[in-house]
Every structure is written in C-alpha cells, then in structure tokens.
Amino acid sequence: MFLLRSIHQLRPALESLQEGKYEELDKTDAKFKTMIPSPLTFEIIAQIVPIMEKACQLSEMLSADDKPTIHQVFS
C-alpha cells in the first residue's frame, strides 16, 4: 500500500527522470530508469491507491488492540 502511494505521489519526478529532462544533471543509473512504471501502469496505480487506502482503514478499524472489535464484523 505505502509503496504504491509513494510511486503515485512521485509520478511527476519519475516521469521527468525517464524522459531525460535533466540529462546534464542526471546521474541516475540507466537500469533504474528501466524500472520506472509505464504511463498505463501509473494510471492503474492511481486507480488502485484509493481502494487500498479504504481497505487499510477498514483493517486498522477491525484490528484495534485497545477495544473489542468483533461486534463490528458481525453487525
């Protein structure tokens, strides 16, 4: 979840590296540039992140240590 959210937030920077906009200043390893997601993958990540955030919130709500939560599952 956190990895996908980070990639989503860093999309502009990653795309700039991939496009070579700062080639004269760029010391990024060429192998790293090949691992940057494609535009389609970025779009899929953008659609997945909100769904995963809701699932993460639900998981946190149902896994509380300081109060009983089983009633929330069965209600």
When pLDDT is cut at 50, 70 and 90, the band that residue 6 belongs to is: very high
Angle between helices 39-62 and 2-9 (to 10 degrees): 140
User: Which range (46-50, 53-57, 67-71) has the least confidence?
Assistant: 67-71
Of the candidates 6, 33, 1, the one whose C-alpha atom is nearest the C-alpha of residue 17 is 33
When pLDDT is cut at 50, 70 and 90, the band that residue 63 belongs to is: confident
The predicted pLDDT at position 62 comes to 74
pLDDT at 15 over 60: yes
Residues 30-53 have pLDDT tens digits of 777 788 899 999 999 999 999 999
